[in-house]
Chain A
Amino acid sequence: GEDVEQSLFLSVREGDSSVINCTYTDSSSTYLYWYKQEPGAGLQLLTYIFSNMDMKQDQRLTVLLNKKDKHLSLRIADTQTGDSAIYFCAESMNSNYQLIWGAGTKLIIKP
């Protein structure tokens, strides 16, 4: 069945790069997403990548997609304290607007 897996925690020093990883199982996924959830708030779409792309960059964010290995990563350059949050990976298929969600990775920033 469909499944999205992520590590539960990642700890990085302020100013370093953070790399959050995700694996998925459905090779027919059309879109893959990264959502951010700050404490006490709802999820916010950070970025997404279409399955025929292998990289997308948006300011400090870089998304890499390896379709062969079904691996998605989110790199945050120059990690700041404001980046502390839970990051969710999700996948969807073109004909279905429902998302399959990972469990979320909590990003912890050390001073």
Chain B
Amino acid sequence: DARVTQTPRHKVTEMGQEVTMRCQPILGHNTVFWYRQTMMQGLELLAYFRNRAPLDDSGMPKDRFSAEMPDATLATLKIQPSEPRDSAVYFCASGSSSSHEQYFGPGTRLTVT
């Protein structure tokens, strides 16, 4: 059955290193969302793409975070340089602009030491 996939599922890295998280949206979906989930802040929207174009990335720290969609089957979220406060679970979700539902991936658990 169709699912959103995310890689890696877990990532442990040292402060200052670059981190790249990948997401494959469900085939045919044209909206992609990146979320960050922490105990303290809950679920935060980082970026939102429609038809591969970023429509809203106001939730993302611009100095170190970047989000792209090189093609319709791949969305990436990069952190450079990473900091301990970036430790969180990062979720990708996809949807269709003809529907209002979002389908979540399993998440990438990032730990920055």
Contacts and interface: CB of A to CB of B under 8 A. Distances in A.
Interface of A: 30-31, 35, 41-45, 48, 88, 92, 97-99, 101, 103-104
A48 B100 CA distance: 10
B105 A97 contact: no
Interface in B86-113: 91, 93, 95, 97, 100-107
A101 B91 contact: no
B56 A31 contact: no
A42 B106 contact: yes
Q: Specify which of B93, B100, B106 lies most central, judged by the most chain A CB atoms within 10 Å of its CB.
A: B100
Contacts of B105: 42
Contacts of A104: 42-43
Contacts of A45: 101-103
A48 B102 CA distance: 11
Given A30-B100, A35-B104, A88-B43, 12 more contacts: A41-B107, A42-B93, A42-B107, A43-B91, A45-B102, A48-B101, A97-B48, A97-B100, A98-B45, A98-B48, A98-B56, A99-B102
